[in-house]
């Protein structure tokens, strides 16, 4: 007997951006081990793509190509697979659903740009469309929260304030478009390792608050003011684990960046510049220094995960 046609498209493609943290203020660890955060996220124009296609019922598989593909696990720990399984379990007739996911990566793995979280968010959206599951934005967001601290922001995009462990996001009032240069490190950094080092360095950490100067800069669309207000409490920990990052940050500032910081738990360093042409100049200069593996230009804010075909 011929098998019934799938009720929805053969394949769905979703594009999802990387994030940087313009401010990342971290408090003392909570009883569950996570750290309370006060953060400002910005989604930038460096994208992964996730394609979802029908597979046999209860088959969940993933292949990964592109930037750092060989570092991405292909088993059930893969965040895109976890996202697909979670959606099938909670919102679908899960014994009839299966998916074959292909991830095309441009966001570096373990880079502090939430690449894994982005893939989780994209897989949620792609599978909901593929399987024709009518899941409300609120429910999708609840699933995103369950998958990881940065996943809800990857769905939302733009510029947003994050609290809780990072998963509670609210859009921030922000004007203008900002030009970034992103420098990828030679080796990734493990987020739990960086948080552990933060705890060692900050035995008396206090409850975190968003710096008002940063919000003022965003409201005014003032890149110079924003550059001066960038801050990351995890930066000293990341610099201890990879001391050469300090040279990279200093080089960027010497070449005229308006501000420089380690993104999230690192090791990617983000440099804010005034214009597209300044971004080109800084990219060339940093590449020539040989302090990083790859340099990319990006602008922000951009929208979050979206179906593109």
Question: Which residue number, 30 or 224, has a Cβ lying nearer to ligand C5P?
Answer: 30
Cis omega before residue 301 (within 30°)?
yes
Is 19 annotated in the active site?
yes
Smallest gap from Cβ 255 to ligand C5P, in A, equals 32
Strand order in the sheet with 294-300: 259-262, 269-273, 178-184, 294-300
Question: Which residue number, 36 or 252, has a Cβ lying nearer to ligand C5P?
Answer: 36
Smallest gap from Cβ 41 to ligand C5P, in A, equals 13
CA distances from 200 to 29, 134, 148, 236, 283 (A): 11, 46, 24, 11, 34
Smallest gap from Cβ 219 to ligand C5P, in A, equals 26
Question: Which residue number, 146 or 222, has a Cβ lying nearer to ligand C5P?
Answer: 146
- Find tokens 């809780």 and name the residue: 164
In 17-107, where does DSSP find H-type helix? 79-91
Distance CA 220, CA 276 (A): 20
Q: State the DSSP string of 254-274.
A: HTT-SEEEE-TTSS-EEEEES
Minimal CA–CA distance to 301: which of 215, 211, 178? 178
Tokens of 15: 């594009």
Candidate list 19, 25, 48, 105, residue with the active-site label:
19
Question: Which residue number, 98 or 108, has a Cβ lying nearer to ligand C5P?
Answer: 108
CA atoms within 13 A on the CB side of 192: 2
Minimal CA–CA distance to 40: which of 159, 136, 207, 127? 159
Is 281 annotated in the active site?
no
Smallest gap from Cβ 22 to ligand C5P, in A, equals 16
Question: Which residue number, 185 or 264, has a Cβ lying nearer to ligand C5P?
Answer: 264
Candidate list 25, 48, 105, 150, residue with the active-site label:
150
Binding site for ligand C5P (CB under 6 A): 34-35, 37, 148-150, 165-166, 191-192, 195
Question: Which residue number, 9 or 34, has a Cβ lying nearer to ligand C5P?
Answer: 34
Distance CA 158, CA 218 (A): 12
Smallest gap from Cβ 227 to ligand C5P, in A, equals 25
Q: Phi, psi (5° rounding) for residue 49? A: -120, 135
Smallest gap from Cβ 249 to ligand C5P, in A, equals 22
> Any idea which residues carry the catalytic annotation?
19, 150
């Amino acid at each position: 007997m011929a098998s019934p046609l799938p009720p929805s498209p053969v394949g769905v493609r979703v594009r999802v951006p990387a994030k940087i943290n313009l401010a990342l203020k971290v408090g003392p660890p909570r009883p569950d081990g996570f750290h309370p955060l006060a953060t400002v996220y910005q989604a930038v124009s460096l994208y992964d793509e996730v394609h979802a296609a029908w597979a046999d019922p209860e088959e969940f598989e993933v292949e990964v190509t592109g930037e750092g593909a060989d570092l991405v696990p292909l088993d059930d720990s893969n965040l895109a697979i976890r996202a697909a399984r979670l959606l099938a379990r909670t919102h679908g007739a899960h014994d009839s659903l299966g998916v074959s996911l292909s991830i095309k990566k441009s966001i570096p793995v373990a880079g502090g740009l939430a690449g894994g979280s982005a893939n989780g968010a994209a897989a949620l959206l792609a599978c909901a469309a593929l399987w024709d599951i009518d899941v409300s934005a609120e429910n999708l967001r609840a699933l995103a929260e369950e998958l990881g601290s940065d996943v809800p922001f990857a769905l939302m995009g733009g510029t947003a304030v994050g609290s809780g462990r990072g998963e509670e996001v609210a859009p921030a009032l922000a004007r203008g478009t900002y030009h970034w240069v992103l420098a990828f490190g030679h080796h990734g950094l493990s987020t739990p390792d960086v948080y552990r080092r933060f705890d060692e360095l900050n035995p008396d950490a206090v409850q975190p608050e968003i710096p008002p100067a940063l919000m003022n800069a965003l409201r005014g669309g003032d890149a110079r003011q924003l550059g001066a207000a960038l801050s990351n409490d995890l930066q000293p920990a990341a610099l201890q684990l990879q001391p050469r990052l300090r040279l990279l940050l200093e080089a960027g500032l010497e070449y005229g960046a308006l501000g420089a910081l380690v993104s999230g738990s690192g090791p990617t360093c983000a440099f804010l510049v005034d214009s597209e042409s300044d971004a080109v100049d800084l990219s060339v200069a940093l590449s020539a220094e040989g302090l990083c593996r790859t340099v990319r230009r990006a602008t922000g804010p951009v929208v979050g995960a979206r179906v593109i075909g």
